[in-house]
Amino acid sequence: MNEHDTHEEPHQETIEDRSPQEAGQEDGAQVGTGIETAGVPEAAIPELVIISGMSGAGRSTAAKCLEDLGWFVVDNLPPALIPTMVELGARSQGNVARIAVVVDVRGRRFFDNLRESLADLEARNVTRRIVFLESSDDALVRRFESVRRPHPLQGDGRIVDGIAAERQLLRELRGDADLVIDTSSLNVHELRAKMDAQFAGEEEPELRATVMSFGFKYGLPVDADLVVDMRFLPNPHWVPELRQFTGLNEEVAAYVFNQPGAKEFLDRYAELLRLVQTGYRREGKRYVTIAVGCTGGKHRSVAMSEKLAARLVSEGVETVVVHRDMGRE
């Protein structure tokens, strides 16, 4: 591996990527991108996951997790060589059924090569997914400072300058990602748990959902695909006998769903999600994160997240519930 995943702080293990090695990856390199699979059965073409994202956000941790799950992992592969890697896997007689490639985008030409490779893969019906590792500027600065390494794009500027340049360069790729994971507040073990939840199953489900409760006062989850706001319901925080509890408590949940509009919202939003699920499946999107917010992320959003997740499970959607801010106050 060319990236360094972790650094140590007292009582806390955090996520860190070592800056990428430049050897053999000139931005102007020209490499053919055609996949020659003539005579190879379609079933033999391997699954492909492309891991990318911000430097310092945990790309190599995610890659190591897939490696432990039996994926064939290639770190820092030039994007133009991705189709060639898929071709070699297709000719391995089933020995390489799942390939994960870690790429970082450090230049305009590098990004153009990646875009061309993705278009080539799509044209040849290769199943590919993009996992994008995201993190806040503050978290990335702390990680680079802790290992005393410069950001690969900062040049003569500051770390924040390199982060801003990389974020701009990766904007389009992030928009195309099938799965975005925000690692700002995750340690290594929590990131591995997220990857396990998405990839550990032996059979690939049609759609996986994460329902995440959160508090608006702590900020929107950056990896959310859909955001809903529960602040139209009365806040149990102002009911003295309920304040100390959370939305996991039966009394709090009963209070929330006895309010006008609560049950109707659940029914109608679940119906909307059925429509969204159909579209996601049609477009080949396998992961969706639904963020459910209230003021502090303790009562209303937690209760609604639990009910919404139960609805999804009852309709055959593999669902994980995360309560991001519960217990934070």
Binding-site residues from annotation for GTP: 104-107
The single residue listed with the structure tokens 């290769």 is: 126
Cα gap 222→227, rounded to integer Å = 10
Return the amino acid letter for 283.
E
CA distance 213 to 247: 10
Alpha-carbon distances of 22 from 104, 173, 212, rounded to whole Å: 11, 21, 38
Of 320, 58, 321, 19, which Cα lies nearest the Cα of 189?
Answer: 58
Taking the C-alpha atoms of residue 329 and residue 296, their distance in angstroms, rounded to an integer, is: 8
Classified as helix, coil or strand, 188 is helix
Residue numbers in the known binding site are 53-60, 104-107
| DSSP tag of 233 | S
Quick one: which of 133, 180, 158 has its CA closest to 5? 133
Handedness of CA 137, 140, 142, 148 (dihedral sign): negative
Give the residue ranges of the annotated binding site for ATP.
53-60
Q: How many Å apart are CA 29 and CA 66, to the nearest integer?
A: 28
Cα distance between residue 29 and residue 113, in whole Å: 9
Strand, coil or helix: 165: helix
